[in-house]
Amino acid sequence: MAKERILIAVKTYPTLSKTHTELACTAGFREDGTWIRLYPIPFRLLEQEQRYKKYQWLEVDIARNKGDSRPESFRVINRDNIKPLNEIGPERQWAERRKLILDKNKVYTNLKEIIDLANADTLSLVIFKPTEFIDFIAEKTDAEWPQDKLDAILDRFKQRNLFEDENPEDFKIMPKLPYKFSYTFKDDQGKESTLMIEDWETGQLYWNCLKNYGEDLAVQKVREKYFDDFVKTKDLHLFLGTTREWHGRAKNPFVIIGTFHPPPMTQPSFL
């Protein structure tokens, strides 16, 4: 067991688990810049004062997750000891965020390279910079969670096994996103790929827009943010991670688990 300070950079959209109810992959960087994944974490079951934000330092007791072969995966020993610390803001063109994340890590540009490294169990989390973004895709999908998972969670509610002091009536299952959002891009060898985005922020953006605009316009607003804004006006990098199920097995085990989108660096003027 060890106490670590972790800069949170990734929270994925929750999925349902018969064992853990809702699961979200949380990932970030240690103080030396190395990647770390905290999995599983039932984020929405944490107390309000323990809920952490993107680009916030987190102090937590962790141990190697022996049930997860991915090299960066650790588990939280005691979620009651999770302690959010200071946040890193976007000032000076994200200067501090760039220093902590980009300056301390390799930014990959070749998809085959990271797949080979994942298959060798060398890594499962990377910063990736496509050479060209081609499209942002919204694909309609099932709008409801699988019934067997919902039934299993309901049984746990009834048995009061899910909670200790919490009131289960106060907890509502996160709705399933009715769309799969993806980027299509090229790497430095011109290889074209389409990877699904599993970022919590993407899902929340869709739900927020849905409340204000309706379904079709909500999808359009998500595209405007992720393509017209991030791709066309920002220095967009992707946080990629392999899934536990397909790590070392799939032809391409990576999905997009987050974005890093600072404004482009501007050269100082000496005029």
What is the pLDDT, as a whole number, of residue 155?
Answer: 76
Please give the pLDDT value at position 271: 45
Asked if 2-92 and 106-141+177-260 have one fold, the answer is yes
Compute the C-alpha angle 160/14/86, nearest 5°: 100
The confidence score (pLDDT) of residue 171 equals 61
**How confident is the model at residue 47, as a pLDDT?**
62
Start-to-end C-alpha separation, the chain: 55
pLDDT at 255: 96
**Under CATH, which number does the domain 2-92 receive?**
2.40.50.730
Q: Residue ranges of the domains in the chain?
A: 2-92, 106-141+177-260
Token pair recorded at residue 123: 């890594």
Owner of token pair 């809702």: 22
**Contact in structure between 88 and 55 (CB atoms under 8 Å):** yes
pLDDT of residue 165: 44
**Regions in the chain scoring below 70 on pLDDT:** 1, 17-21, 42-47, 49, 156-171, 246, 248-249, 267-271
CATH match for 106-141+177-260 among 2.40.50, 1.20.1270, 2.30.110, 3.40.50: 2.40.50
Give residue 207's Cα distance to chain centre. Answer: 17
Q: Specify the pairing of strand 107-108 against strand 125-128.
A: parallel
